[in-house]
Amino acid sequence: MSTLWHVLGAGSLGTLWATRLTRAGLPVRLILRDRSRLASYQAVSGLTLVEQGQAHTYPVIGETADSPGLIHRLLVACKAYDAQGAVAQLAHRLAPDAELILLQNGLGSQDAVAAQLPQARCVFASSTEGAYRESEWRVVFAGHGYTWLGDVNHPTPPLWLEDLHAAGIAHEWSTDILTRLWRKLALNCAINPLTVIHHCRNGGLQDHRCEVAILCSELTQLLDRCGQPAAAHNLQAEVERVIQATAANYSSMYQDVANGRRTEISYLLGYACRVALRHQLSLPHLQQLQVRLVQHLDAHRLPID
Ligand code: NAD
Ligand code: KPL
């Protein structure tokens, strides 16, 4: 019998994982925020995943943090700014040998969760899969991609990777997950804030090449200083490639701002600026970008952290 997968958060990625694991016949429980969310979920017949226009509903059992039972394996699928609080609410249910998979973008939240639970195994993930919520309990699988998973303390891959294989979740075990997370953070820092400030699709940054190049040069210095030369390698060329390949798309941060949602700024550009300060590294364009982004968020009455 497979270990039960507890999935925290019924948002885009939580639904994408919970439905595919359930479809593969694996046992899954969905942890919802509170009893009223649970009641509203129980009024529908399950989570719906839309793939290539086809919708299927999976009757994943829901619960809340107060439900009974130990948690051995927890997929943390909330936003970076919610991760620490959400995991704290579940601390009393985590088995001594619990394993957590942290799906958060950016950096900072993973270390905060790991510090909170020194006895648990925390696997960090970096995903290029794309999903969005079409309506309550209904998610569209918008972009096939890959999820890299790794554990900074133990290089041995966990046995449950077989479950991901069975569920058709494209993944790879990575022995340099921090490099992957730093690289993604650098890409996000070079692209996302500028799309918000210039109010454009990713492709619109082709009109701001110099600004992008200066940011890439500062991000490269930061990565080098943080002992991440592999994440720094050819950063500008990759940023330009991503801008071209995703020219028609709006960045995730742009979409958050456009939809009046809190951004993950503190775990992306904010994190980069804090680490630069800690290293006494002067990165004026990155710092200035942070100031402009914060002003923009403030003007739109959105949280600045
Ligand atoms: P989302 O906002 O769609 O879903 C998060 C869910 O977590 C929400 O339903 C929220 O109510 C729930 N939640 C928050 N606190 C909770 C708590 N205490 N208990 C129970 N539920 C709680 O977010 P998402 O798009 O799935 O993103 C999750 C993370 O994955 C983010 O860090 C994001 O940057 C990253 N990511 C997302 C995508 C994507 O395509 N959506 C791709 C790659 C990475
Ligand atoms: O990951 C992205 C995002 O929008 O968050 C890309 C497409 C790489 C832009 O930074």
User: What is the number of the ligand closest to the CA of 132?
Assistant: 1
Query: Does one domain contain both 140 and 198?
Result: no
Q: Which of 225, 190, 227 is nearest to 208 (CA)?
A: 190
Report how far residue 277's alpha carbon sits from residue 208's, in angstroms, rounded to the nearest whole number: 26
Kindly give the distance from the C-alpha atom of residue 182 to the centroid of ligand 2, in angstroms, as a whole number. Answer: 13
Atom 4 (ligand 1) nearest CA? 11
Kindly give the distance from the C-alpha atom of residue 234 to the centroid of ligand 1, in angstroms, as a whole number. Answer: 30
Query: What secondary structure, in 3-state letters, does 221-237 show?
Result: HHHHHCCCHHHHCCHHH
* End-to-end Cα, the chain, rounded Å: 43
Say if 305 falls within a structural domain. Answer: no
Query: Does one domain contain both 135 and 16?
Result: yes
Say if 202 falls within a structural domain. Answer: yes
63 lines ligand 1 (CB under 6 A): no
Kindly give the distance from the C-alpha atom of residue 99 to the centroid of ligand 2, in angstroms, as a whole number. Answer: 28
Kindly give the distance from the C-alpha atom of residue 155 to the centroid of ligand 2, in angstroms, as a whole number. Answer: 28
Say if 230 falls within a structural domain. Answer: yes
End residue of a domain, out of 118, 145, 174: 174
Domain containing residue 13: CATH number? 3.40.50.720
Give all strands (DSSP E) within 106-185, no chain letters: 121-127, 130-135, 138-143, 147-150, 171-173
Domain containing residue 281: CATH number? 1.10.1040.10
Say if 84 falls within a structural domain. Answer: yes
End residue of a domain, out of 132, 155, 174: 174
- The answer to whether 158 touches 101, Cβ cutoff 8 Å, is no
Query: What residues make up the domain containing 184?
Result: 179-299
- The answer to whether 242 touches 202, Cβ cutoff 8 Å, is yes
Burial of 98 (C-beta count, 10 Å sphere; 0-12/13-18/19+):
buried
3-state helix, strand, coil in the chain (%, to 5): 45, 20, 30
Query: Does one domain contain both 164 and 210?
Result: no
**Predicted model pTM:** 0.97
* 239-289 pLDDT per residue, tens: 999 999 999 999 999 999 999 999 999 999 999 999 999 999 999 999 999
Query: Does one domain contain both 128 and 15?
Result: yes
Query: Does one domain contain both 245 and 164?
Result: no
Query: Does one domain contain both 64 and 153?
Result: yes
End residue of a domain, out of 141, 174, 207: 174
Atom 4 (ligand 2) nearest CA? 251
Q: Which of 75, 69, 68 is nearest to 9 (CA)?
A: 75
Query: Does one domain contain both 38 and 167?
Result: yes
Count of C-beta atoms within a 10 Å radius of residue 58: 18
35 lines ligand 1 (CB under 6 A): no
Residue ranges for the chain with pLDDT beneath 70:
1
Residues recognised as catalytic: 184
Query: Does one domain contain both 138 and 107?
Result: yes
Query: Does one domain contain both 34 and 95?
Result: yes
Query: Does one domain contain both 15 and 160?
Result: yes
User: What is the number of the ligand closest to the CA of 254?
Assistant: 2
Number of structural domains (the chain) is 2
178 lines ligand 1 (CB under 6 A): no
For residue 107, the model assigns a pLDDT of 98
